Amino acid sequence: MPKIYIIGSVGSGKTTLAKRLSRELNINYYELDNVTWEHNPNGNDRRRTSKEIIEIFEKIINQKDWIIENVGKDIYSLAYKRANTIIYIDLPKRILYKRIIYRWIKQKLKLYPSPMKPTLGALKQMLLWAKREKQDSKLKKLHKYNNKIVILDEKRLNEYKYVDE
| CA 104 from centroid of its chain's CA atoms | 17
Q: How many helices (H) and strands (E) does the chain have?
A: 7, 7
Which of 10, 32, 8 lies closest to 130 in space, CA to CA? 10
CA geometry: angle at 30 spanning 91 and 158, to 5°?
Answer: 35
pTM of the predicted model over 0.75: yes
User: What is residue 165's predicted lDDT score, i.e. its pLDDT?
Assistant: 60
Ranges under pLDDT 50 in the chain = none
pLDDT of residue 93: 93
User: Which residues neighbour 120 within 8 Å (Cβ) at sequence distance 6 or greater?
Assistant: none
What is the pLDDT at residue 98?
96
